[in-house]
Chains A and B, each alone.
Chain A
Amino acid sequence: MKVLVPIKRVIDANVKVRVKADNTGVETANVKMAMNPFCEIAVEEAVRLKEAGTASEVIVVSAGAAQAQETLRTGLAMGADRGILIQCDSDPEPLAVAKLLKAVVEKEGPELVILGKQAVDNDNNQTGQMLAALLGWPQGTFISKVEKTDGSFAITREVDGGLEKLEIKAPAVVTTDLRLNEPRYASLPNIMKAKKKPIDTMTPADLGVDVSPRLTVVSVTEPPARKAGVKVASVAELVDKLRNEAKVI
């Protein structure tokens, strides 16, 4: 089976983001970018399925600026076979991304699409569910396990109360949670090899998709900062402060 893995280029999760002075967004100039951590887990899972002989081909796809090509190269270095860049002027909203991905799915015919459950920039947690809706496919969100069975996938989901097991029919969309796997680091030889792997470039117009935004960003501001607290010297002092100053116990 073919596996499609949509991935996103985001500000590196270890970078502390700064809000722009004009409140139009966050500072992205000269900021380290990386593959969204949940997308790394998605690529890893697809590559493991290929290594296990379950998947025949792993295709990574990204919708975004031309630089998203670097993120695709990272996916190729991790073991994906080829990449697709859907070049956009700015990052499309999740609904638009889902429409673009639907068009790619219709061209490529994967049996499984694996996405990260959310991107750590906008924290939307929508694209996988929206893609599944548009395709009329089942969805396995926030998964910690996926196994191919005859004509379906057995999945385990991380939910608020614990774990939930579902059987979803193939073809399907799944989204990764943190415990699905631990993504590998690409080795130097694989990074070199990835440079020779093909990346197809297309535009939303090529796919016949309107990506006009539905939301207008009115402003982006800093959240209220917490006031610096005090250090206490002992457990007894801590309990006293909690009882008599903060009055929370």
Chain B
Amino acid sequence: MSTLIVAEHDNAELKPATLNAVTAAGQLPGETHVLIAGSGCGAAAEAAAKVAGVDKVLKADDAAYDHHLAENLAPLVAKLAADYSHVIAAATTSGKNVMPRAAALLDVQQVSDISAIEGEDTFVRPIYAGNALATVKSSDAVKVLTIRATAFDAAPAEGGSAAVEAVESTGDTGLAAFKGQELTKSERPELTTAGIVISGGRGMQSGENFAMLERVADKLGAAVGASRAAVDAGYVPNDYQVGQTGKVVAPDLYVAVGISGAIQHLAGMKDSKVIVAINKDEEAPIFQVADYGLVADLFEAVPELEKELG
């Protein structure tokens, strides 16, 4: 039996987390196939065919699959699943939206956000904001999984030469319609794949003050993130949020500025290789996970950091 990956893409390019899903699929028996469902998604299908480790690409090209509406995409995934032992997607907002709907159509209990594969039916996943790791065994005929992208390396985007096969559309259910989007534009690296992340918390005191972090980020080639408190306060948009219910990041370097370190925030960043905390409260829990802690007023320390980096 084989694994089907439900790819995330924008019709032209694959989203990086799909490459992590390919690595996860490689740890399961059988071939790795990738589903590219979209509208005018030929380029994305070609990109998927080039990924090392991909054996076949299924292309479902139909306006119904534009924007990956779960109502239209889940029936396609459920239909194709009959030929697979595992169906997986990255645990992004898109994967989290579509996969449980497909799992329910298949009468399967999905295993969410897995961080390791122990065997073809046994998976490890963080629970309670990562304060415990559960190893679970699935008895369902088809395993429907979402994977935590930071727990699996990205497969090389080049090196494969898979065939692209067209599959029939399951059509438009007419239940939902896309009305628009407001995407945050940034020249900086994407938060979940950046090698360095610098995040601000409530201590930043305003959205304007995030400009200080952005200047440091630009010197380091880093992405900018935030704690829930900073997002709730309206300092930065929701897509900056790192944490249990936001984005999970695991960069080489994570710099937490003015973040106290609630367990919900730690859940999203504690797998980072090196953690730096800058906070004026030396009792802040963030220091318990930081490799390097600096007890200082961020309004002095951050400009100084920018200067030191030259």
Contacts and interface: CB of A to CB of B under 8 A. Distances in A.
- Asked if A and B are interacting partners, one says yes
Interface of A: 11, 13, 16-17, 19, 26, 38, 93-96, 98, 117-118, 120-134, 137-142, 144, 154, 157-169, 177-179, 213-223, 226-232, 234-236, 238-239, 241-242, 246, 248-249
B138 A215 contact: yes
B101 A129 contact: yes
Contact of B263 (A16, A133, A227): A16
Contacts of B110: 94-95, 124, 126
30 contacts: A19-B131, A26-B128, A95-B110, A125-B112, A125-B113, A126-B100, A132-B101, A133-B74, A133-B103, A134-B104, A138-B71, A139-B97, A139-B101, A162-B239, A163-B181, A163-B182, A165-B180, A220-B127, A220-B134, A221-B133, A223-B131, A226-B270, A226-B291, A229-B291, A231-B293, A232-B293, A235-B308, A242-B276, A246-B274, A249-B196
Interface string B57-90: 0000000000101110010000000000000000
A118 B184 CA distance: 24
B220 A214 contact: no
Contacts of B108: 95, 214
A137 to B, nearest CB: 7
Contacts of A26: 127-128, 131-132
A8 to B, nearest CB: 14
A223 B136 contact: no
A27 to B, nearest CB: 10
A235 B296 contact: yes
A242 B255 CA distance: 11
B206 interface: no
Contact of A165 (B98, B179, B231, B290): B179
Top-6 shortest CB links A-B = A129-B100, A130-B104, A214-B109, A133-B104, A138-B175, A229-B291
With a 10 A CB-CB cut-off, give which of A122, A221, A248 has the most chain B CB atoms.
Answer: A248
Nearest to A234: B294
Given A121-B128, A123-B113, A130 B101 contact: yes
Given A133-B74, A141-B96, A229 B128 contact: no
Contacts of A142: 93, 96-97
A121 B127 CA distance: 6
Interface in B110-148: 110-113, 122, 126-140
Interface residues of B, number: 90
Given A123-B112, A160-B247, 5 more contacts: A16-B263, A120-B128, A126-B100, A162-B184, A238-B276
Contacts of B135: 217-221
Nearest to B107: A95
A220 B101 contact: no
- The secondary-structure label for the interface of chain B is mixed
B179 A154 contact: yes
Nearest to B247: A160
Nearest to A173: B101
B94 A16 contact: no
B275 interface: yes
Contacts of A246: 253, 274, 291-292
Contacts of B169: none
A118 B245 contact: yes
B252 interface: yes
A96 B261 CA distance: 35
Contacts of A229: 275, 287, 289-293
A172 to B, nearest CB: 8
Contacts of A121: 127-128
Given A177-B238, A215-B139, A238-B292, A125 B96 contact: yes
Nearest to B137: A216
A193 B287 CA distance: 45
Contacts of B232: 178-179
B194 interface: no
Contacts of B67: 164
Nearest to B175: A138
